[in-house]
Amino acid sequence: MNKKVILYAVVGILVLGLLILTFFPGITYAIRDSGKTGGDLCSPEPGYTAESWYEHMSHHPNIYAECLS
């Protein structure tokens, strides 16, 4: 019985994680960028133009405040 509860909990956590990543795909960039500082933070990521990167940063003003000012 205990093993079933643990298995259901693990499967539930995995499903929840997949749902979060499906509905919020940009969250991986926000988490990855939260530890960067200065020029590394403000420079466009590979695959982004300067304009699209600025638009991305504008969606996360708490992380990119120094880049948007």
The pTM (predicted TM-score) of the whole model is 0.47
Q: In angstroms, what CA-CA distances link 52 with 13, 16, 23, 49?
A: 33, 29, 20, 5
Distance of CA 51 to the CA centre of its chain: 19
- Give the model's pLDDT for residue 62: 82
Report the C-alpha gap between 54 and 14 in whole angstroms: 32
Successive 10-residue mean pLDDT values, the chain, 69 residues: 91 95 81 68 84 88 81
